[in-house]
Structures are given as structure tokens and as C-alpha cells.
Amino acid sequence: MPDARGSTPSPWIVQWAGLIPPGATVLDVAAGSGRHALFLAERGHKVTAVDRDIDRLPRHPAIEAIKADLEEGHPWPLPGRFFGAVVVTNYLHRPLMPTLLAALPPGGVLLYETFMVGNERFGKPSRPDFLLKDGELLELVRGTFSVVAYEARLISEPRMAMVQHIAARRL
């Protein structure tokens, strides 16, 4: 279901958003146009949406917009903050991964999806730096999260792409 601006949340995020405890705060990383921030805010969550261009984010009382460049060696803009869930879609910056996982206390939910090796056949992203390796999301959470769902597959909507998805809860 598109929001007022015509953006549709990822089916993976919609499917697994119910794992996020009611009223939990959510971190939306590389939030882009805010399709997930708005979806989650409308579900009753307070959302901290981080992106380098916050002008594209929707104005909503439950959305805190944080302008930050998450790459190029810039410091993490939310030191010491914890969230009930972290949501990341179509974004991969490996040096940030430990910080994102550390922002989840026990019971915190990770909903992550992005492109993987094999996507170069379908266009961008095609550089290895921006493509997950086979099973990389599983390895990332091994021993510290309970995996509720995981997929590594070809999708055809909104366009052909190779992706990995994970829904996991911190132990």
C-alpha cells in the first residue's frame, strides 16, 4: 500500500514489522524518502530516521529526522542510543554493521534487506563493496541473534535483483 507520496514499503518490512514490540522505538538507517519511517510511525512507533538528505523525509510527529553522512569516516550520530528495532533496506556499509547491532538490546529486532552478489547481472549496485556475500547476513548475527526468517533470492519486483533479507531478534 503506497503512502501519500506514492512510496510503497518493502514487502519484507511489512511482513515482519509485527516482530517489533508495540511502542518500541525504531531506527531507520539510510531512510531515503522515508517510506519505512512513515509506515512504522503509522503503526505507532517512534522512528529515528537517519539519512544524509533529510529533506525527502515525511513530516510526522513520530519521526525524528537526523541528518548524517554514515560513510567517509564520519562519526556515528547517535552514540549511546538503543532502539527496539533497526530497519535497513537497500543499503550496505560494512563498517557500520557492528554499530547497528550494538544499538539493539536483548529482544531488539533487526530487519535488514539489501542486494547480494549476483545483482551485477541486473544493474546497480554492482560493486562488491555494495553487495552482500552469500550468507553474509546470517554470519553477521550468528550467536547473538535468533533468526526468525532469512532469504537469499532473486526478486522481480520492483525490478529484477538478487537480495538477502533477514528478520532476527537479539538474544
C-alpha cell at 115: 542486494
Single out the residue of 122, 55, 115 nearest to residue 91, CA to CA.
Answer: 115
In this predicted structure, what is the pLDDT of residue 112? 98
In this predicted structure, what is the pLDDT of residue 7? 76
**Does residue 62 sit within a domain?**
yes
Residues 56, 60, 83, CA angle at the centre, nearest 5°? 90
| CATH of residue 58 | 3.40.50.150
Average pLDDT per block of 10 residues along the chain, 171 residues long = 65 97 97 97 98 95 96 91 98 96 98 97 94 97 98 93 97 98
Please check whether residue 49 is in contact with residue 63, taking contact to mean a CB–CB distance below 8 angstroms.
yes
**Does residue 3 sit within a domain?**
no
Domain limits for position 120: 11-170
C-alpha cell at 101: 547491532
Single out the residue of 138, 142, 80 nearest to residue 105, CA to CA.
Answer: 80
In this predicted structure, what is the pLDDT of residue 145? 98
Report the predicted TM-score, pTM, of the whole model to 2 decimal places.
0.94
Distance, CA of 117 to chain centre: 18
**Does residue 111 sit within a domain?**
yes
Which position has the grid cell 556515528?
Answer: 76
Number of domains, the chain: 1
Q: What is the Cα–Cα distance from 124 to 131, expressed in whole angstroms?
A: 10
Name residues whose C-beta falls within 8 Å of residue 76's C-beta, 6 or more positions apart in sequence: 70, 96, 99
In this predicted structure, what is the pLDDT of residue 4? 46
**Does residue 5 sit within a domain?**
no
Q: What is the DSSP letter of 132?
A: B
In this predicted structure, what is the pLDDT of residue 15? 98
